[in-house]
Amino acid sequence: MNLIFITENFFPDVMGGSGRVVAETTKRLAAGGHNVHVVTRRIGDAAQRGSVNGAEVWRYSSASPMAQQLWSLRQTIGAATKETGFDVAVICQPLPGIVAVHHPSLKSMPKTREFYGPWHDEYRVKKTVRDYRTHIGVQIGCLLRKWCDVHVLMRVDMIRVLSVYTARMVSDLCPRVGSRTRLIPGGVDTERFAPATDKSSIRRKLGLPGSRRIIFTVRNLTARMGLDVLIDAMRHVADRMKDVLLIIGGEGPLRLPLEDKIKGMNLEENVILRGRIPDDNLPAFYQGADLFVLPTQDLEGFGLVTLEAMACGLPVIATRQGGSVQILGAFGSDFLLDGMDSATMASRICELLNQPERMDELGRKARTTILATYSWDRQVEQLLALFEDVIASRRRVTA
Helix locations, the chain, DSSP H:
17-31, 66-83, 94-101, 119-130, 135-153, 164-173, 199-206, 227-240, 255-264, 282-288, 304-311, 323-328, 342-353, 356-373, 376-398
Q: Return the C-alpha torsion angle 294, 18, 173, 141, nearest 10.
A: 100
pLDDT at 133 over 70: no
CA distance 59 to 273: 32
CA proximity to 223, closest of 316, 315, 130? 130
Instruction: Read off the pLDDT of each residue in 338-346 and give the average, rounded to a whole number.
Output: 95
| pLDDT band of 188, cuts 50, 70, 90 | very high
pLDDT of residue 375: 86
What separation in angstroms does the CA of 203 have from each of 196, 209, 282, 309, 350? 10, 7, 13, 16, 22
Residue 301 is predicted with a pLDDT of: 82
Q: Tell me: the pLDDT tens digits for 207-221?
A: 999 999 999 999 999
Q: How confident is the model at residue 28 (pLDDT cuts 50, 70, 90)?
A: very high
pLDDT digits (tens, 9 = 90+) for 298-318: 888 888 999 999 999 999 999
φ, ψ of residue 302 to 5 degrees: the values are: -145, -85
The answer to whether residue 52 scores a pLDDT higher than 60 is yes
Q: Is 135 helix (H, G, I), strand (E, B) or coil?
A: helix
The pLDDT of residue 259 is 97
Give the residue, 102 or 129, on which the prediction is more confident: 102
Residue 134 binned pLDDT confidence (cut-offs 50, 70, 90): low
Mean pLDDT of 263-283: 95
- At residue 333, the pLDDT reads 83
What are the chain's domains? 2-187+376-398 (3.40.50.2000), 199-373 (3.40.50.2000)
Task: Give the residue-averaged pLDDT of 319-347.
Answer: 92
At 218, the amino acid letter reads V
pLDDT at 137: 79
What's the rounded Cα separation, in Å, for the pair 215 and 317? 10
Amino acid symbol at 397: V
- pLDDT band of residue 132 (cuts 50, 70, 90) is very low
Are 26 and 53 in contact, with CB atoms under 8 Å apart? yes
Q: Please state the rounded mean pLDDT for residues 109-126.
A: 89
Q: What is the pLDDT of residues 208-266, one digit of tens each?
A: 999 999 999 999 998 889 999 999 999 999 999 989 999 999 999 999 999 999 999 99
